Amino acid sequence: MGKREDVSKKPPSTLRRWLYRSRLINFLPIDRKKQFYLLTVFLVGVILFGLLNWRKSDASSESVTAGKSDRDRATKLPALRTGNTRLFYNRVPKCGSSTLVALLKKLAERNGFQHHSSPKLDDWGMFIKEQREDFVKEFNDEPPRTSFDRHLFFLDFAEFREKNPIYINLIRDPTERFISEFYFRRRLQNEGVKKGERKWYDEDLENCVRTGKDYDCRLIDGTFIKNMIAFFCGHDIECSKHNSPNALSRAKQNVEKHFAVVGILEDLDMSLQVLEQTLPAYFAGAVDLYASNPDHVVNKGKNRVDRVSEEVKQIIRANLTAEYDFYDFVRKRLIAQSQGKL
């Protein structure tokens, strides 16, 4: 066997010598050179396979930003990297959510996704564990390209080892929201109330705040309140306590970690611009669609709101401390996003 002798004349490389000596290369009943090549081919195959799969999973986790620009690729937002492409708008009430949902429905046609509105309007949260788990399962049964809206406190899917959806939301000046909420409850929800109850429903906010006799006009630290913060903090009762520092910090952390965009109603144009650039798969064309549609503002004026004096607004504003802290935090983040800094 002349060939074999030729090879043995050349001194094998250090790597080859080490492999020959090790058990790795001496387990097959064929010659050591063939074993060496087999091993090399096998290792190269493993590395290529690994590389290909890594590229693939990288692409699928970003597929929600389909048609992505370099800017999207460079995004540091953890909310876009969960691997769950479904969008969850856990809409805060009285913050223009009907307008945003109407827009999402039009965008669904334009951008080829499905929009699903929950029929449940009142059941906002403080869910016990079983309820949270049921919701997570139901939510992830939706097709992957779905946007879903419901008034619901923030819910961390990771609690049930599921991937979080892409959360978005829209908030509003806390005093304006408080006023809107008051009149919504007292004026729009008063159909068919008994005569004896009429007085409560007809009360105006001005009086209610000044006399402080009703629970829904009182803003006392630690009492339960229908706040915006719970929609970002969660179902724990602590999240619904007025001015809870704990709830505030949890809400901020969740925004940073789980919310792709939280818009501001007072800056709706900027909010839509940021939504469009951050989530083009859902919001491409949102700015134009909104600007070109004259009847885009849904529900405006439907909710009769009595004039509220600046003095009473000031009383409300002074006590909504945590809500304003949160509002300012969200506004700063939105501005940073609009400037491409986030």
Ligand X SMILES: *[C@@H]1O[C@H](CO)[C@@H](O)[C@H](O)[C@H]1NC(C)=O
Binding site for ligand X (CB under 6 A): 209, 212, 218-221, 315, 319
Q: 41 or 220: whose CB is closer to ligand X? A: 220
HEC per residue, the chain: CHHHHHHHHCCCCHHHHHHHHCHHHCCCCCCHHHHHHHHHHHHHHHHHHHHHHHHHHHHHHCHHHCCCCHHHHCCCCHHHHCCCCCEEECCCCCCCHHHHHHHHHHHHHHHCCEEEECCCCCCCCCCCHHHHHHHHHHHHCCCCCEEEECCCCCCCHHHHCCCCCEEEEEECCHHHHHHHHHHHHHHHCCCCCCHHHHHHHHCCHHHHHHHCCCHHHCCCCCCECCCCCHHHHCCCHHHHECCCHHHHHHHHHHHHHHEEEEEEHHHHHHHHHHHHHHCHHHHCCHHHHHHHCCCCCCCCCCCCCCCCCHHHHHHHHHHCHHHHHHHHHHHHHHHHHHCCCC
Q: 277 or 319: whose CB is closer to ligand X? A: 319
Minimum distance of ligand X from residue 340's CB (angstroms)? 40
Minimum distance of ligand X from residue 329's CB (angstroms)? 22
Q: 87 or 316: whose CB is closer to ligand X? A: 316
Minimum distance of ligand X from residue 217's CB (angstroms)? 6
Q: 83 or 212: whose CB is closer to ligand X? A: 212
Minimum distance of ligand X from residue 318's CB (angstroms)? 7
Q: 212 or 245: whose CB is closer to ligand X? A: 212
Minimum distance of ligand X from residue 176's CB (angstroms)? 16
Minimum distance of ligand X from residue 209's CB (angstroms)? 5
Q: 156 or 214: whose CB is closer to ligand X? A: 214
